[in-house]
């Protein structure tokens, strides 16, 4: 398509040509020409949020649940600065976003005009790439290029900052044919010789493990299928980061659970004692490795990642393979099959026997209570109620997030949306709005804390306006739970500003917005409350009152090695351990 358009028209046409059907935004003076074009068309649905941070997180949820690029539209100055947090969040978690921001006219840039800020300068550290559009003639190329950069290679957020005079100006629009970037050309195929070497290393391993991350999910459903085929071929144990949950089914017999700071004992111990580690689409972040100099000290490490800067960035590996993990895993499976590769069955059986002993510790054990709802129990009951349903889970950040990762098993990718790298309180609810927008017939539940939910509670109005039946399940312990836990365990129980006073009545708050409010504080009434939450055909705030001082275990304290974990009293019970694994096994725990 080539024809004359205003810059504002070009924005809308480019979005249509890129297959965009939903955008999340908030109008302001510097983007009014674009909003005028939105008014005059019906192909793209605009979701009016109540805060630009909500727009960014909603676009993230939309992107992560669909695999598409999420789009947000904000005005200049405070509109753009309010979007910085979700942009940083998306960069850390490799989420493809395009943020279109308005800017003051080009003649006023640098003059401290009303609602002016240096958007490209401010967002440069928290975006994959950004653009300040100087003329209407370059606008079509930049818009299409922004989508290419956001979705290709390691996904990430891109900002396109468009001055108001460029939106009014008229120029020639060009469609998205042959879109690329003059310098950015990510490598998709891995080096075959390196892949063969990796296969040989795995074949000869006595204690192998697959360590997977969000890169597998970002690569797409075919990459997840290749991962599952590799596990089926090899019989190797597999674990995952927080961001990678769902790439391999939680019900799989080779699944060890999540690893890292609040991961399972068996996953962390297997990582510590393995002799060959295959890292697929993960980045060795500090919540996984613990103390670096003690991380998996006796293993050979293979790292597959599409981002060459991630390899040897934190942990020195023995073999790095740059490429899209889907392509590399496909080559690995093909080479394994073609060569009739097989591990030593006895070595692998011995390794699994050791893992089974670690499993028997029951590291997620907690003490049930007939009078008070334990947060773990609440999530176990929710998990039971979700079986057989088409559902998506988002979370805020804190103890509830880790309990959700531990107790909600995910069988498929793109069903679990959480803020991993930046750890953004206030992420989950607007992200759930984005997910519900993309999947209107599905059940979408945001697992929240009483602190996090208040960060972006204003988006309840968005859910009401757009008929989005999002459910918010608050594990309400009247504290900033993770902060309190760290203060208790690591700061002498000095609970500085972690008790949340002046807590709102969440049922009344829901009613004020026109949503449904539910409250429950007794275990024997929990099932009925969850059923009521799920059955209601609109937005719900479920105030689930849980034990106030429950801690999230296991836990690797900051600065310790990943095999140096703290456990609940139940998991620490030596009598229980001895009964579970016998005297012979007790020496191995």
Helix 345-359 crosses helix 265-273 at what angle (to 10 degrees)? 140
- Give strand pairing partners of 5: 171
Look at the block and give the residue holding tokens 């295959």: 278
Cβ atoms of 276 and 208 within 8 Å: the answer is yes
Stated length of the chain? 589
Tell me which long-range contacts 387-392 makes (C-beta under 8 A, separation of at least 24): 389/443, 389/534, 390/439, 390/441, 390/442, 390/443, 391/415, 391/442, 391/443, 391/444, 391/445, 392/65, 392/416, 392/417, 392/432, 392/435, 392/439, 392/442, 392/443, 392/444, 392/445
545 DSSP β-pair partners:
476
What CA–CA distance (Å, rounded) separates 504 from 510? Answer: 10
Hey, which residues are catalytic here? 52, 114-115, 164, 482
Inter-residue contact 447 to 395 (CB < 8 Å): yes
Strands 22-25 and 70-74: what pairing?
Answer: parallel
Picking from 353, 359, 254, 273, the residue whose alpha carbon sits closest to that of residue 571 is 359
How many Cβ atoms from other residues are within 10 Å of residue 493's Cβ? 9
At 257, give phi and psi (nearest 5°).
Answer: 90, 175
Give the angle 108-111-114 at the CA atoms, nearest 5°.
75
Both tokens of residue 44? 């793209």
Residue 196: asked if its preceding bond is cis (omega within 30°), the reply is: no
Distances (CA, A) of 447 to 153, 346, 375, 416, 444: 31, 43, 11, 11, 10
CB 362 within 8 A of CB 265: no
* In 421-488, beta strands by DSSP E: 443-449, 471-476
Distance CA 434, CA 430 (A): 6
Judged on CB neighbours under 10 Å (0-12, 13-18, 19+), 491 is exposed
- Tell me the pairing of strands 170-174 and 2-6: antiparallel
Q: Rounded to the nearest 5°, which phi and psi values hold at 382?
A: -60, -40
| Residue 55 in tokens | 């727009």
Give phi and psi for 411, each to the nearest 5.
-95, -20
Report the distance separating Cα 213 and Cα 215, nearest Å: 5
Count of alpha carbons within 13 angstroms of residue 419, beta-carbon side: 32
């Amino acid at each position: 398509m080539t024809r004359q358009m205003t810059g504002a028209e070009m924005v809308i046409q480019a979005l249509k040509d890129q297959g965009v059907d939903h955008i999340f935004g908030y109008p302001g003076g510097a983007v009014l020409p674009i909003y005028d074009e939105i008014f005059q068309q019906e192909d793209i649905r605009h979701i009016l949020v109540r805060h630009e941070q909500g727009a960014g997180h909603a676009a993230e949820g939309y992107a992560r649940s669909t695999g598409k690029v999420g789009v947000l539209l904000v005005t200049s100055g405070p509109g753009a600065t309010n979007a910085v947090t979700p942009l940083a969040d998306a960069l850390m978690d490799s989420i493809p976003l395009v943020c279109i921001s308005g800017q003051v006219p080009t003649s006023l840039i640098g003059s401290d005009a009303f609602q002016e800020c240096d958007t490209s300068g401010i967002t440069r550290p928290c975006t994959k790439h950004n653009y300040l559009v100087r003329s209407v003639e370059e606008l079509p190329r930049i818009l299409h290029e922004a989508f290419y950069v956001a979705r290709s290679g390691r996904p990430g957020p891109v900002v396109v900052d468009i001055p108001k005079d460029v939106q009014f100006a008229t120029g020639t629009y060009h469609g998205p044919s042959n879109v690329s970037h003059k310098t950015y050309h990510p490598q998709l195929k891995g080096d075959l010789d390196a892949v063969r070497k990796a296969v040989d290393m795995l074949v000869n391993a006595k204690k192998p493990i697959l360590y997977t991350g969000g890169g597998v999910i970002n690569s797409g459903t075919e990459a997840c299928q290749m991962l599952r085929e590799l596990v089926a071929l090899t019989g190797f144990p597999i674990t995952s980061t927080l961001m990678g949950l769902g790439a391999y089914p939680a019900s799989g017999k080779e699944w060890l659970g999540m690893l890292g700071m609040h991961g399972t004992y068996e996953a962390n111990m297997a990582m510590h004692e393995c002799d060959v580690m295959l890292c697929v689409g993960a980045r060795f972040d500090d919540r996984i490795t613990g103390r670096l100099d003690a991380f998996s000290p006796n293993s050979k490490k293979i790292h597959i990642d599409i981002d060459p800067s991630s390899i040897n960035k934190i942990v020195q590996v023995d073999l790095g393979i740059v490429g899209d993990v889907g392509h590399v895993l496909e080559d690995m499976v093909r080479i394994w099959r073609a060569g009739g590769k097989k591990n030593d069955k006895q070595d692998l059986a011995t390794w699994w026997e050791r893992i089974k002993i670690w499993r028997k510790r029951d590291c997620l054990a907690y003490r049930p209570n007939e009078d008070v709802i334990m947060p773990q129990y609440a999530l176990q009951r929710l998990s039971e109620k979700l079986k057989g349903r088409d559902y998506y889970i988002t979370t805020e950040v804190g103890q509830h997030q880790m309990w959700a990762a531990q107790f909600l098993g995910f069988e498929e990718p793109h069903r679990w949306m959480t803020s991993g790298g930046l750890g953004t309180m206030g992420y989950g609810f607007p992200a759930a709005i984005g997910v519900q927008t993309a999947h209107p017939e599905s059940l979408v539940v945001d697992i929240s804390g009483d602190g996090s939910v208040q960060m972006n509670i204003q988006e309840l109005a968005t859910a009401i306006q757009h008929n989005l039946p999002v459910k918010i399940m608050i594990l309400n312990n009247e504290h900033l739970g993770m902060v309190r836990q760290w203060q208790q365990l690591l700061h002498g129980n000095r609970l500085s500003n972690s008790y949340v006073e002046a807590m709102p009545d969440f049922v009344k708050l829901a009613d004020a917005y026109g949503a449904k409010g539910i409250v429950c504080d007794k275990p024997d009434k929990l099932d009925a409350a969850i059923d009521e939450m799920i059955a209601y055909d609109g937005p719900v705030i479920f105030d689930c009152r849980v034990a106030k001082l429950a801690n999230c275990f296991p836990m690797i304290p900051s600065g310790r090695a990943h095999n140096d974990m703290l456990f609940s009293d139940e998991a620490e019970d030596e009598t229980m351990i001895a009964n579970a694994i016998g005297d012979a096994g007790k020496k191995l725990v």
